Structure 1
Amino acid sequence: MTPDEFIAAWKDNPLTERAGAQQWFSDLCDLLGVPKPRDADNYCFERGARKSGGGEGWADVWRRGCFGWENKKPGRDLNGALKQLTDYALNLESPPLLVVADRERIIIHTAFTGYPDEPREIRIHDLSDPAQREILRWVFTDPEKLKPTKSCQAITKEAATKFANLAETMRKRGEDWQRVAHFLVQCLFCLFAEDERLLPGDLFADLLKNAQGDPGKAAKRLGTLFAAMQSPHGEYGDHDIAWFNGGLFNTIDIPPLSPADLVELHSAARDMDWCAIDPTIFGTLFERGLDPAARAPLGAHYTDVDTIGKLIDPVVTQPLLLEWEAAQAIIQAGQGKKGPTRKARDAYQGFLLRLYEFRVLDPACGSGNFLYLALKALRDLEKRVQVEARDLGIPTTDEFLQTGPHNILGLEINEFAAELARVTVWIGDIQWCRRNGYQYSKDPILKPLDAIQHRDALINPDGTEAEWPVADVIVGNPPFLGDKKMLGGLGAQYVTRLRKRYDGRVPGGADLVTYWFEKARAQIAAGKTRYAGLVATNSIRGGANRKVLDRIVETGAIFNAWSDEPWINEGAAVRVSLVAFAATAAERPIVLDGNPIPAIYADLSGSTAEHENDLTGARVLSANLRAAIQGPTKGGAFDIPGVTARGWLLLPNIHGKPTSDVLKPWVNGLDVTRRHLDNWIIDFADMDEADASLYEAPFEHVRVCVFPARQGVARERRKRYWWQFNEPAPGLRAALSLVSRYIATPEVSKHRVFVWLNAATMPDKNLVVIVREDDATFGVLHSRPHRVWALKMGTSLENRPRYTSSSTFRTFPFPDGLTPADTKGPTEALESGAVLPTVAADRRAVAARIAEAAYSLNERRESWLNPKEWIERVPEVVPGYPDRIVPAPGHEAELKTRTLTNLYNKPPAWLNYAHQTLDAAVAAAYGWTDYTAQLPDEEILRRLLALNLQRPMPAEARKAIRPKAD
């Protein structure tokens, strides 16, 4: 068929919609040279015609992976046709193109996930143009060619960048940032409203263009427009202005503008599609750009929608779906001869009322992405309910939905973030309504969002506990602020009041995020909410943080969790735990990391059919006390380069004592996992100021580099004793004075490695020190049983496991006779060079086997790290310190690559053999005669937990054993 023949046949054709649709489409296929619909599974007419309620199909034509197509008679409403396609998009497998046609015009809507809709209209007379026919062929053969060039995220980033640059320019002129930010948020909403045709024509763009040369005139006109948008009967020139209200334009305070500002704003209006901004990241990006206090750079990443959905789905969508399924059963049972019965209609209306009254609270809502996604989930669910109810014969209305911005509640301490949250919700909701064919709110367009409150979620100004609104569910991403950073981030006065108010509920040493978990638990216990789903750094699984999860499982249940997920916090990649909990797990599937299991424990591990390893019951053991100690916290610039230290070591002091008294080699985690950086540290221990000053050069350095910073700290002791470390760790010093070497491991590292350090070396706070000299202890720590235990009992930072003296070391059950209490006495050197602790006679053989294997492992590792052909050993300038290892000439680059991290990233065969030998020796010490490398980790944990529960615990320790699930 030629274009002329097609146009002649179908121009002003009188056939009815039903009579003409399929013949018209078949002729179009002939014109384009594409196949006709003849495959019921992949390409057909009337897709879904046999749906449960009878009637028409989901689409007149459907092609898998290409399009859903709805035909109407000329002159009919194509918006209604598009709505039918969007209603059934999921049933149609979410095709990338939605096409509506009335035989004389074809409109192609793009529906690619994450991309804006860029409609293309082709009228019947356009089909004589080969280029237009080629576009239509792509609909059938290559939809990707019609994909918009910019994603919604890219458009939002570009918009945020434009506004960030404009805000920075205005702030540099001395304008108040809050005044600037509020004005720009009003402008960006106007840009969105103009592109969504909520404002007439190009009104906002023309205002900016016509007043570019006169900033004063522009400011006056902008004020007039904003006032009109706030008014129920607003006018601007010859235009009637819709009533927006909502509070966004209650304050009109336009900062002084420059001609350049107006040019930038006009460029934003002219060049950008503001309909396409992405509400899931809108608030985050604009907060970064407009608030100078925002810490993340504008270009930093942000958390994706799917990850947030892992919390929204189990606490919002799935519970409501269960309720809808119950209502559906009543509706299906209530089908009479004349249609649905009163009982069926009541079930439908009752569920709609349930949706109308449903409330979601985000008590740390930030700029609103969780709130918007919760609202979107409710809107999507109600749309699904409308479609399914219609299929069951229930009369529905397409005009308004019951869900809307009234369903969400928020608390936010940052006033600007709270304002952005409201704008995020407004914009996102208008977009949702437009794209799904529903009427957005009117009179006013922006319903007040007073339920998003600007206030502290934890304590009131008078120190009393803040109240949270009653809500069906709580969701959110509370602030990640570690215990040690709370004083600096929040101030000593606030932190003191906070801890006092929650004393007995949140333990000392817990991170800030845990307070939201405890309050959500209390809301559930009080019957003020049903479910909660919150994000925390994955450190919530251990230490003081885990106490809040212990309390949650004691009074309720965790029913859904993701124990270790990637997340973006202030632009930085971190690892988090997503935790959903309730008063009981009854009637809900229990899911951990996407897998159904019988129970989830407080450390976010779970029971399985084969193993019941609730390691939250593991206890601190008496035999392990005081053997593992954290390195001291220096709290200032006490560290100096080695070249400086060696110069000072040769200087005389007026009292005749050597500088080596207060100057020591310093080792941190990177020195262990990479190569030693040759840093030293000034350590005055507990000297008074007068004695410290006698070591002239080190004292002067501390006076200049440490003293000024210490004057601004909150803790009085650190301010008064400014020449000493923050935490001098006297216990560690006393312990190290009794040994010639000690074992150390980084608190956080990709691989759990242990090394020997000379006792004259000062460890940093990020090293855990095990004060033992024997190779048997070194071997047990480096064995698979301890590694598996440490990974399970510890948390992680990003993707690097964390090791602590409390949760990982003090709970670990060493083999009988080889506990830290058993190995603290004298040692003996074996013929091989391995060092053996003094142990009971019947344990000497197994101890020796471990010591020999550990000694061999360490020797081989050291040979690889420091090949004798590549290094030179240089004695230090004063005796008593370990030799310095430096590259031999010509081997500098090669030696840089010899690190423990690189070694364990790609372990050579000899390293694997050495570890396997060590593992077998340690397993024999436990009496595990069935041990092989294939023994499951869960079985190893089961055996270790049983040992832990048999061993004595300190009298002052409390049990932390949770009753097993029935």
Structure 2
Amino acid sequence: MMNPTEIADALDAIAKAKFDPAEFGYAFAQATDNAQATVAKLRAGSTNKSDIAGGVLLNGKFHYVPVLPGMAAEMLDALRASKRTAKAKPAILIATDGEMIAAEHRKSGDTLHCSFVELGTHFSFFLPAAGKERYRAAEENPVDIKATGKLAKLYDALLKANPDWAVPERRHAMNLFMTRLIFCLFSEDVGVFKEDQFSFAVFSYGGNKGEHAREVLVQAFTAMNLPKGQREGLPAWTDTFEYVNGGLFIDAIEAPAFDPISFRYLRDAAELDWKLINPDIFGSMIQSIADPKARAELGMHYTSVPNIMKVLGPLFLDDLDESLDKAWDKPAALKAQLHRLSKIRVFDPACGSGNFLVVAYRQMREREIRILKRLGELEGNEHFAMFSSVSLNQFYGIELTDFAAETAKLALFIAEYQANARFADVFGRMPPLLPLRDGGQIRRENALRVNWDEVCPPPAEGEEVYIAGNPPFLGKAQQEEEQKEGMDLVFSGRVKAYRAFDLVAAWYFLAAQYIRDRNAEAALVATNSICQGASASSLWPEIFKFDVEIGFAHRSFKWRNNAAANAAVICVVVGIRNTSSKAKRLIDEDIEVRAGNINSYLVDGPTVTVSASSKPINGLPEMTFGEMPRDGGHLILNQIEMESLTDAYPETRTIIRKFLGSEEVVNGLDRYCLWIDERADPTSLDLALSIPPIKQRIEMVAENRLKSTNKSTSDFANRPHRFVERRSPETFAHAILVPSVTSERRPYLPVDRVGADVISSNLNQVLYDAPDWCIALIASRLHLVWIATVCGKLKSDFRYSNTLGWNTFPVPKFTAEQLDQLSASARRILKTRYQHYPKTIADLYDPDKMPDDLRAVHRENDELLESMYIGRAFRNDTERLEKLFKLYAARVKQGAK
């Protein structure tokens, strides 16, 4: 698989070659990561779907057409209108005359018009033709991707040439070497060193094939660690280097040996224009050079600046801006804000490659420049702009992995240089570049084992500390043993049932502990499960015991931009602070509201947690989960087994029932079970034992249960003909089945009504002989948002719980007439579904394929039900949840009296 850098190089090669209109389409196919066999078939015409002369159309990838001079832009219209284009759905449309290129993304409608020689420069525009998602930030700054790709090749080549450096014990040395190397390449391009000073030394003295490069690099790095006049024993050429230090070269100076290949890659990296590097994302991208698994999607997914600002803005930058606005015409107040900036400390206890710290630093420096410019305007002088009072010393981080920690320091240095350069553009001067001042306070530690006070000391008088970051997203099943031990250290003896929490919960707990009674606040990113289900009801009450509150929150949104092969993570940002009278902010997509209170479900409502109830607290019928066989599978039959039995022994039809679990309900699958119910038919067991294949199955059940370590199962070994757990009444007319797990993509929860001939498995929740209006409740948007919020999810799927979801679901007091209306609505939903037979629930509730008539009756059901709550339909899910939590809190309060 080609990574974006390799695609860029391949497209650049096409741009530099002589244009051949007949060959371009096939060269483009090869450059965008298509196999030789695919290109050969395309060339032969067997897979070329184009209906335009000279065109090349590859299904799902691209449609290219050569054009007459000056006609590239006009040809896009013909490509759009092509019936073959509509059928083959290519990601990219491209027309060129060899001088100009006109291209378009069919999905977004974005267009590109550029000269042919710029084909490689705009490689990211064409990534969808290779099946890779395009991310605009990468397109705007392609040097970040190119630098990462070239450094990745260098890294791999060096490890191949130095296998002794590939072992874990030497990996720190390798990572530190790469960090120093990147610093030098950057420094010679931006003026920290003289132009090309480092490259000149390496390629002048390193040998033709890199045979002396190791010695040259060690000598250069050693010189940078020593003030001039203290470099005895080093070659004279090292005197040209300034003293750098600042911690970057203070550790042991080592370098791997170079072979011709790695030396070539070093030359390629040196030829890039490093002053264009964007430090906001550079850290994440450079970190990937040490992770081969991330190579295939370099530049495709990293934390974007807008998402980081979702954290930093409401955490403290918005307050800074508000204070600046108030102080704008008051010099003394502006100077107070300058002083405030010098006292703000930012702490990321899961800093990775430093993205949050870099963005925070840049944002603070930008505000400082604004203040200084304004003071100059108000007082007619610039004496306040002698130098910056915002230091890298104000930025703290904890990071477990070695290379990420080193990269974070480097990214902060790059950010500092660029901020100083901006300062010089405005005020005509900048602090001395060398020697380096102290860098960011990055500690390589396990954040769940180290005392945060030791990393970032508590704020002194006048200081403010803001904790911000994006801790790891790992659920219980994904946590490794060391991470589980970290959870034990944080929660054991303090919080119950913490093993069910996502790993990120530990950071929230430690952040709340850190900020308590201090001039500090925290805001962290987490998967939205942190505010659903068990986390909302078990974790947050313990966090609130630190006398903190949720000051702001971003409700569920997609956190980062991922390549096509990866689903975006649905996240929340939760900001916590000491209890305060300040306004609380609740942000949902692009809408912000001031909240009276933000509870653990991120709802503007009472601080309540929804606890499981064994009985409905709302007057609804009792719901239970279905029958549990615990039989080793011997009482269960597939279609073929059922037909074989009933063909050979027709009398078995009386003891065989349909057996439906979640999957069977949703996907319309058929499965059966032996249902030997002596309550309804005292002769059924004798009948079963008289049929040899059934008798054999019953004996196997007994054997399986005897081996069980579960006493409640082994106790049923003497009753092997029946299910261990049976919850259905002795007789019933019908049952309403609700699958326990369902896809989050579905706009409504699946629910079905079946007759008494169907046995439900324990993978469904069941209402026996319940009125039809229960279906109207379950199939409503109102019920779905309640379940999604209070029950949480299993992986990314909704998890339905009778005790936590149904028994607690807040409902108003319905009149008899209203219940009749809801029952009629439920029947309309079922009837509409039946009209689409044999389509299954999975088919019908696919959000992209849901029939219009079914969508319409669901909308009518929602409007009907919601009018019974507030007299009209709710505007959005936030309003739905606010009303539900108010009703729930009132019901709990009433029950407590």
Corresponding residue for residue 60 of structure 2: none
Q: Does the aligned pair in 1 maintain the 2:283–2:407 contact within 8 Å? A: yes
Please give the TM-score of this superposition, normalised by the length of structure 2: 0.64
Q: Which residue type is aligned with residue 550 of structure 2?
A: I
CA distance 1:395–1:898, shift in 2 (3 Å) = closer
- How many residues are treated as equivalent by the alignment? 682
2:852 equivalent in structure 1: 908
Give the alignment partner of residue 437 of structure 1, picking from 424, 428, 432. 424
| Mapped contact 1:575–1:799 kept (Cα < 8 A) | no
Query: How far 1:551 sits from its partner (Å)?
Result: 5.3
Q: Which residue of 2 aligns with 1:256?
A: 257
Q: Which amino acid aligns with 1:470?
A: P
Distance 1:946-1:534 versus aligned 2 partners, 3 A rule: closer
Instruction: Give 1:412 shift.
Output: 1.4
Mapped to 2, the partners of 1:787 and 1:149 lie a distance apart of: 36
In the aligned structure 1, how far is the partner of 2:628 from the partner of 2:503?
A: 21
Closer/same/farther in 2, CA of residues 487 and 577 from structure 1, 3 Å limit: closer
Matched, 1:544 2:534: yes
Match of 2:116 in 1: none
- Listed as ranges, the matches of 1:329-408 within 5 Å are 331=331, 344=332, 350-393=336-379, 395-408=382-395
Q: Which amino acid letter does the alignment assign opposite residue 273 of structure 2?
A: D
Residue in 1 that maps onto 2:115: none
Structure 1 residues 663-678: aligned runs within 5 Å: 675=667
How far off its partner does 1:865 sit? 4.2
Partner residue of 1:196? 190
Aligned to 2:449: 459
Q: Does 1:469 align with 2:466?
A: no
1:301 aligns with 2:292: no
- C-alpha distance in structure 1 between counterparts of 2:437 and 2:638, whole Å: 66
Residue 421 of structure 1 corresponds to which residue in structure 2?
Answer: 408
Question: Distance between the aligned counterparts of 1:521 and 1:386, measured in 2?
Answer: 35
Deviation at 1:165, TM superposition (A): 2.8
Q: Which amino acid aligns with 2:853?
A: A
Counterpart position of 1:864: 836
- Equivalent in the alignment of 1:756: 752
Query: Which string of whole-angstrom CA distances, capped at 9 and with x for unpartnered residues, describes residues 532-570 of structure 1?
Result: 222121222222322544555672333332112220298
1:230 to 209, 222, 225: 225
Query: Matched residues in 2 for 1:578 and 1:481: separation?
Result: 13
- Using the alignment, how far apart are the partners of 2:628 and 2:450 within structure 1? 33
Change (3 A) 1:849 1:196: closer
The alpha carbon displacement at 1:362 in A equals 1.0
Per-residue deviation, 1:284: 1.0
1:511 corresponds in structure 2 to 502
Matched AA of 2:360: A
| 2:217 aligned partner, one-letter code | L
Contact 1:645 1:663 in 2 (8 A): no
Instruction: Pick one of 558, 577, 590 that aligns with 1:566.
Output: 558
The secondary structure found in structure 2 opposite 1:300 is coil
Shift of 1:372: 0.5
User: What amino acid sits opposite 2:829 in the alignment?
Assistant: L
Tell me if the contact between 1:192 and 1:274 (Cα under 8 Å) persists in the aligned partners.
yes
Change (3 A) 1:773 1:324: same
Structure 2 Cα separation of the partners of residues 846 and 215 of structure 1: 84
Alignment of 1:629-668 (within 5 A): 646=640
Structure 1 residues 318 and 939 mapped into 2: Cα distance closer, same or farther (>3 Å)?
closer
Does the 8 Å contact 2:512/2:543 carry over to 1?
Answer: yes
Report the CA distance between 1:410 and its aligned residue: 0.9
Greater Cα shift, 276-285 or 212-221: 212-221
Sort the Cα spacing of 1:562 and 1:935 in 2 relative to 1 into closer, same or farther, 3 A. Answer: closer
* 1:245 maps to 2:245: yes
Distance change >3 Å, CA 862–CA 363, structure 1 → 2: same
Give the Å deviation of 1:398.
4.0
Find the residue that maps to 1:474 and give its secondary structure: strand
CA distance in 1 between counterparts of 2:627 and 2:878 reads: 35
Distance 1:530 1:806, change over 3 A: farther
Q: Distance in 2 between matches of 1:780 and 1:804?
A: 15
Partner of 1:888: none
The C-alpha deviation readout for 1:365-412, integer Å capped at 9, x for no partner, is: 111000001111111111111011111105425442111211111111
- Give the one of 492, 506, 522 matched to 1:500: 492
Deviations 1:329-373 (A, max 9, x none): 653xxxxxxxxxxxx4xx665543432232111111111000001
Between structure 1 and structure 2, the one with the greater Rg is 1
Residue aligned with 1:564, SS: strand
RMSD: 5.1
Q: Give the match for residue 522 of structure 2.
A: 532
Indicate the SS of the match to 1:902.
coil
Stretches of structure 1 lacking an aligned partner (at least 5 in a row) = 1-147, 332-343, 608-612, 652-657, 682-693, 703-715, 722-729, 818-841, 867-894, 960-966
| Superposition deviation, residue 242 in structure 1 | 1.8
Please name the residue that 1:712 is paired with.
Answer: none
Deviation at 1:289, TM superposition (A): 2.3
Structure having the larger proportion of residues in helix: 2
1:44-63 to structure 2, matched below 5 A, reads none
Alignment CA distance shift 1:628-1:223 (3 Å) = farther
1:573-592 matches, cutoff 5 A: 573-587=568-582, 590=585, 592=587
Partner of 2:74: none
* Selected match of 1:948 from 859, 877, 888: 888
Q: 5+ residue gaps in structure 2?
A: 1-135, 646-651, 674-695, 714-721
| Shift of residue 782, structure 1, vs aligned partner | 1.5
Deviation sequence 1:491-543 (CA, Å, 0-9, x none):
55444334316436x9553222122222222222231x422222121222222
Letter in 2 for 1:262: F
Q: Which amino acid aligns with 2:555?
A: S
* Whole-angstrom distance in 2 between the partners of 1:631 and 1:244: 71
Deviations 1:248-295 (A, max 9, x none): 22232222332100101101112x111111111111112122135769
The 5 Å alignment of 1:81-100 reads none
In the TM superposition, residue 813 of structure 1 has moved relative to its aligned partner by: 2.9
Residues 619 and 149 from structure 1, CA distance in 2 versus in 1: closer, same or farther, beyond 3 angstroms? Answer: closer
User: Structure 1 residues 317, 495: CA separation in 2 closer, same or farther (over 3 Å shift)?
Assistant: closer
After superposition, the C-alpha distances for 1:640-662 in whole angstroms (9 at most, x for unaligned) are 9x9999579979xxxxxx9xx99
Q: Could you report, residue by residue, the CA deviation over 1:107-133 in whole angstroms, capped at 9, with x for unpaired residues?
A: xxxxxxxxxxxxxxxxxxxxxxxxxxx
Q: 1:781 to 1:349 in 2, by over 3 A?
A: closer
Q: Within 2, Cα distance between the matches of 1:631 and 1:243?
A: 74
Q: Supply the distance in 1 between the matched residues of 2:729 and 2:167 (Cα, whole angstroms).
A: 58
The correspondence of residues 835-914 of structure 1 with structure 2, limited to 5 A, is 850-866=822-838, 899-902=843-846, 906-909=850-853, 911-913=855-857
In 2, distance between residues paired with 1:223 and 1:632? 72
SS in 2 for 1:573: coil
Higher mean displacement: 932-941 or 371-380: 932-941
Shift in CA distance, 186/514, structure 1 to aligned 2, threshold 3 Å:
same
Q: Which amino acid aligns with 1:861?
A: R
Q: In the alignment, is the contact (CA less than 8 A) between 1:624 and 1:809 conserved in 2?
A: yes
Q: Deviations over 1:827-861 (max 9, x none)?
A: xxxxxxxxxxxxxxx96x86566445424422431
Residue number among 459, 462, 485 corresponding to 2:477 in the alignment? 485
Change (3 A) 1:324 1:458: same
State yes or no: 1:780 paired with 2:777: yes
